[in-house]
Amino acid sequence: METSEILRIQSYLREKFNTERLTLDMKSKKSDSIEVLVGGEFIGVIYKDEDEGETSYAFNMAILDIDLPPAN
């Protein structure tokens, strides 16, 4: 992904999630995905998909049960 594209996605996500702590790791060597971090902690990956002239981005976040707060 191009730097300008990554910055646009980052801006969009910061506005949607109302946080400046969200960053996209531009050091990734892959051209079709980028890591998402909150406060420096990895939380997921955004994948770029180009199909029939349209571009979309999919945000994938796995949540481990050990990271969840205890059940009441």
pLDDT digits (tens, 9 = 90+) for 21-44: 999 997 767 778 999 999 999 999
DSSP strands (E only) in the chain: 22-25, 33-38, 41-51, 54-60
Task: Kindly report the average pLDDT of the chain as a whole number.
Answer: 92
By percentage, how much of the chain surpasses pLDDT 70?
Answer: 97
Q: Which two tokens stand for residue 32?
A: 């079709």
Q: Which two tokens stand for residue 47?
A: 């994948």
| Residue 1 pLDDT class (50, 70, 90 cuts) | confident
pTM: 0.84
Element (DSSP H or E) covering residue 18: none
